[in-house]
Chain A
Amino acid sequence: MEILLAIMTGILYASGTYMILRRSIVKLIIGIILLGNGVNLLIFLLGRITKGEPPIISPELKHFADIYADPIPQALILTSIVISFGLQAFAIILVKRTYKALHTDDLDMLNTLDEDS
């Protein structure tokens, strides 16, 4: 399964990068989200995947008795998901404002220098 997931991560990275390279702002945001998912998967994989052994200590024990999934990547990804939600929400609203002010979705149209405006 690791191999498949590694390939999937590669695909997510590739498509994320491709979307970021587009001129449309909406595509840019989609690209960021895809790339973010790719990064999460990358972190997840680097902690090695374990099936059906969540890092929760059973009620009657004080330590893990069996093997358990690595909790650190999970903590990291959890943070990452939440932070990227903040970023995405802000970016989406920003796009809305940009469109309202400038009536375009084209990044190149936003390319005015300070002195021109």
Chain B
Amino acid sequence: MLLFVCLGFIFSFSILFLHKIVKGKLAWLSALVPLSIFIYFAKFLKRVSDGEVIRSSYNWIPSFGVNLDFVVDGLSLLFVLMISGIGTLVFWYTSSYLKGHQYLDRFYAYLGIFMSAMLGLVLSDNLITLFLFWELTSISSFFLIGFNNESSSSRKSALLALGITGIGGLFLLGAAVILGDISSSYSIAEIMQQSNEVVMSSSYIFITILVFLAAFTKSAQFPFHFWLPGAMKAPTPVSTYLHSATMVKAGIYLILRFSPILGDTYFWNTTLMIVGAITMLYTAFHMLFRTDLKAILAYSTICALGIMTFLTGIGTYEALIAAMVFIVVHALYKASLFLITGIIDHKTGTRDITKLSGLRQGLMPVAIAGFVAASISGGIIPTLGFVGKDLIYESTLHSEYYPYVLTGISILTNALLFYGGFLVGVKPFLGPKKEEYSKIHLPSIRMWLPPAIMVTLGVVFGLAPHLIGDTLVVPGSKILSKTSEAFHIKLWHGFNLIFWLSTLTITVGTVLYFVLKPSHALVKTIEKLEYISPKSIVEKLSLLYKIVSKYWTMLFQNGYLRHYVATYVTFIIILVGFLLYQDPRIVIDYNSLADLTVYEITIIIIMFLSTLFTVFTPSRLAAVASMGIIGFAFCLLYLFYSAPDLAMTQFSVDTLTVILFVLVLYRLPKYLRFSKNYLRIEHGILSSIFGTMITLLILKVLSQPKKTEISDFYAENSYVLAKGKNVVNVILVDFRGTDTLIEITVLIVAAIGVFGLLKLRLKARDKK
């Protein structure tokens, strides 16, 4: 099974070597990849319809509990077949739609990765791998949406989609980690066993919110819906694939998958119903104000997703069945409508509904497919859409909460969906034939056959709903609602209330279709309200974020060395100060001051004075000279306190430094006072505090007993092991010989640098 899940990845990778074939005349062969996946998984249909759950497990990181566990049950198989089935048609369609496109190979590579990620997402039983595949779909869809990367609006939309869905993925990871913590397993099946503990746990609300955020961002629920219309900038096959069967359905899949774990609580049901209802109404009305075919489809997609969320929220066995049937309905008609839009766009060069008319001549098969697709979307008998709508009304009427309100909302939304479907699928083909479209003829069969196949399926499934009902939907829903009750999906229930509601929907939809005329004036009206839409609010927030982060960065990274140093020093002061504040005990032995000798005091005074002189002298030469004095005072200090090696080294190094300094500096300009006075005072105070802090720190350390194990080791073994009597010497050249070697290397590098800088002769043009 792993092979088939990863086939898309393998295919994408192989394009690196096979790009000539994929770009050439044999491009349509790539459709064999999703087709083979479809056939492989279709073989599971029989077993799944018997209620079997097929598992296949591959160890990945067992020590973390992260494994590639794949589960085929009704729900996942339904998604897998949609992904691979519609994938086959999309791959096939693309070979004609983007024929001869420069980057067709890239396109197929992205599509392949996306398809595999999507398959992994719906098949994963492990939450962590689910998250990985989830993010992979976000990333690969980013490339697909931004495929026309020369257009800036396309890039922007892709980025927006990635931002919203990517953030959603992080919420999912959070939920996964907490769930794994509660039930000590990342396996969804195992967590399902412990769903009681999860619901009773204190973090239940938190987990649920995280899952909701992940699902709502991915499935474009209000108020995160705005990335989806933007994503229509993608080439039409991408829109078809992403928005009918895959990407945006992932959120719905997630809620469905989690409903046996987190579901059936007041919070779960009401949140999903409210969000779903707002989304479906809000976007259904937005649909009225669009003239671009793809924009209408985008809003009707969000609307349909709203209905699915809403149905999952109702949460009964019937509602889950309705949701799953509606997923299939939507996938079939939305994919066909998108593909038909692609054909229209391809042939006429416009997607403006106000301009298109009379396309039935020349595009007859497409027109028929469009009409059938619109009928499925409108729920006209005998299509699967009718079955789906029946189930929706049945579940709203039987809902625990406000059945009549919910039914009313559904009728309104469905009527508007009817309108939207007919607007896209029928309107462009009716009406008077236009002069400029007279030369249009039927496109390649690779373009019009895929939508035709899908709408045919829509009718076949409508006439025989048990084909998907008994095999996929009912077994899937049984697991989700933990029941074994039988359920038979039927096309015809007789002239009952639901039938009349359905008729009412179609009537309202038809009236809307004839009364409302899409126009650019309506588009303008809605654009006036754009500034309060969630999209512009988010855009403004991100702008604000940019400004704030710019100021924040400038605060610390302003490019002035002294500023950085001041920041470090302040930070150290705060850290050390806090430590000293916590434990302010310092023992000072004043008696040791009694046996000070004259020369010790003299050295300290010399050091002190020359340090002050170095800092405050206005002459550079004097500063260098007094620095030399400090160095020589150090020599004496080392000599008094038993460090003859140090004294010698300090003496020679200090002499060299002073000579070097003087040699270089006599040519430099006058020692200027650059800084302003208040800055000098500020820095003076800062440095004094820092110095005091260091002094206190040293006194504190000196009042602790000293550990001498390491020193004792060297003292003991210096002669015994290394045959040397000067211990410092032995440490440097024997015990730590490698370190000294590296030190010498550093010196050599510095010497080479100095030599290079001295010898460097700049060319005239570089000198500027």
Residue numbers of A with Cβ under 8 A of B are 1-24, 26-28, 30, 33-34, 37-38, 40-42, 44-59, 62-64, 68-72, 74-75, 77-79, 81-83, 85-90, 92-97, 99, 101, 105-108, 111, 113
Given the contacts A4-B604, A13-B690, A93-B757, A24 and B672 also touching, CB distance less than 8 Å: yes
Decide if B439 is an interface residue (CB 8 Å cutoff): no
Contact of A1 with B592 in the complex, beta carbons under 8 Å: yes
Q: Which residues of B contact A23 (CB under 8 A)?
A: 562, 674-675
How far, in Å, is B610 (CB) from chain A's closest CB?
Answer: 10
B contacts with A, residue count (CB < 8 A):
101
| Interface contact A22-B675, CB-CB below 8 Å | yes
Which partner residue on chain A sits nearest B700 by CB separation? A6
The answer to whether A28 touches B561, judged by C-beta atoms less than 8 angstroms apart, is: yes
Q: Whole-angstrom distance between the alpha carbons of A72 and B668 in the complex?
A: 40
- A-B pairs with beta carbons under 8 A, tally: 269
- Is B702 a contact of A108 with CB atoms below 8 Å? no
A44–B702 CA distance with the chains assembled, in angstroms:
12
In the complex, 20 of the A-B residue pairs with CB atoms within 8 angstroms, ordered by the A residue number, are A1-B600, A10-B693, A11-B691, A12-B611, A13-B691, A21-B686, A24-B671, A26-B671, A30-B624, A30-B627, A34-B614, A40-B634, A44-B641, A53-B642, A68-B715, A75-B732, A85-B747, A93-B757, A95-B664, A97-B757
Residues of A contacting B544 in the complex (Cβ-Cβ under 8 angstroms): none
Given the complex, which residues of A lie within 8 Å of B718, measured CB to CB? 57
Please give the distance in Å from A108's CB to the nearest CB on chain B.
7
CB atoms of B754 and A75 under 8 A apart: no
Within 8 A of A (CB), among B418-460: none
Out of B611, B615, B646, name the residue touching A74 (CB < 8 Å).
Answer: B646
Please judge, given known A-B contacts A8-B608, A72-B710, A78-B649, whether A90 and B750 are in contact too, CB under 8 Å. yes
Contact: A79 with B715, CB < 8 Å?
Answer: no
Which residues does B use to contact A, with CB under 8 Å? 559-562, 565-566, 569, 588-590, 592-593, 596, 600-601, 604, 607-608, 611-612, 614-615, 620, 623-624, 627, 630-631, 634, 637-638, 640-646, 649-650, 653, 656-657, 660-661, 664-665, 667-669, 671-672, 674-675, 683-684, 686-688, 690-695, 698-699, 701-702, 706, 708, 710-711, 714-716, 718-720, 725-728, 731-732, 736, 739-740, 743, 746-747, 749-751, 753-754, 757-758, 760, 762, 767
The A interface, classified by DSSP as helix, strand, loop or mixed, is helix
Name the A residues within 8 Å of B661 (CB-CB): 92
| Cα of A109 to Cα of B716 in the assembled complex, Å | 56
Partner of A85, one of B607, B643, B656, B762: B656
Q: Are the CB atoms of B698 and A9 closer together than 8 Å?
A: yes
Q: Separation in Å of the B668 CB from the closest CB of chain A? A: 6
A113 to B558, CA, bound (A): 11
Question: Can you add 4 more A-B contacts, CB < 8 Å, to A18-B684, A33-B627, A111-B559?
Answer: A4-B600, A6-B695, A30-B624, A55-B715
Q: Which chain B positions have C-beta within 8 A of A38? A: 694
CB distance from B125 to the nearest CB of A (A): 51
Do residues B675 and A69 form an inter-chain contact, with CB atoms below 8 A? no
Closest to A20 in B: B565
- How many Å lie between the Cα of A113 and that of B645 in the bound state? 45
Q: Give the docked Cα–Cα distance between A109 and B405 (Å).
A: 72
Cα A24 to Cα B643 with chains together (Å): 35
CB contacts (< 8 Å) of A92 on chain B: these are 657, 660-661, 664
CB-based closest 3 A-B pairs: A14-B691, A10-B695, A69-B642
Asked if B641 and A50 sit within 8 Å, CB to CB, the answer is yes
Give chain B residues whose Cβ lies under 8 Å from the Cβ of A97: 757, 760
State the majority secondary structure of interface residues on B: helix
- Please tell me if the beta carbons of A10 and B691 are within 8 angstroms of each other in the complex: yes
In the assembled complex, which residues on chain B have CB atoms less than 8 Å from the CB atom of A68?
A: 642, 715, 727
Q: In the assembled complex, which residues on chain A have CB atoms less than 8 Å from the CB atom of B592?
A: 1-3
Once A8-B608, A9-B694, A56-B727 are accepted as A-B contacts, the answer to whether A18 and B615 lie under 8 Å apart by CB is yes
A51 touches B627 (CB 8 A): no
Taking CB atoms, residues of chain B closer than 8 Å to A55 are 642, 715, 726-728
Query: Bound state CA distance, A41 and B561, in angstroms?
Result: 26
Contact status A54-B643, CB under 8 Å: yes
Cross-chain contact A99 with B641 (CB below 8 angstroms)? no
Closest to A112 in B: B559
**B691/A6 in contact, CB under 8 A:** no
User: Would you give the shortest CB distance from B143 to chain A, in whole angstroms?
Assistant: 30
C-alpha gap A96/B684 in the complex (Å): 28
Determine which residue in B559, B656, B715, B751 has the highest number of CB atoms from chain A within 10 A of its CB, and name it. B715
When the two chains form their complex, are residues B691 and A17 in contact, meaning their CB atoms are under 8 A apart?
A: yes
Cβ-defined contact, B643 with A44, below 8 A? yes
Chain A residue contacts of B693, Cβ below 8 A: 10
* Bound Cα distance A1, B588 (Å): 11
Known: A71-B711, A74-B645, A97-B757. A6 touches B562 (CB 8 A): no
B746 contacts A17, C-beta separation under 8 Å: no
Q: How far is the CB of B720 from chain A (nearest CB, A)?
A: 6
Q: Is the CB of A19 within 8 A of B615?
A: yes
Q: Which of B601, B631, B687, B728 contacts A17 (CB 8 A)?
A: B687
Expressed in whole angstroms, the minimum distance between the Cβ of A18 and any Cβ of chain B is 4
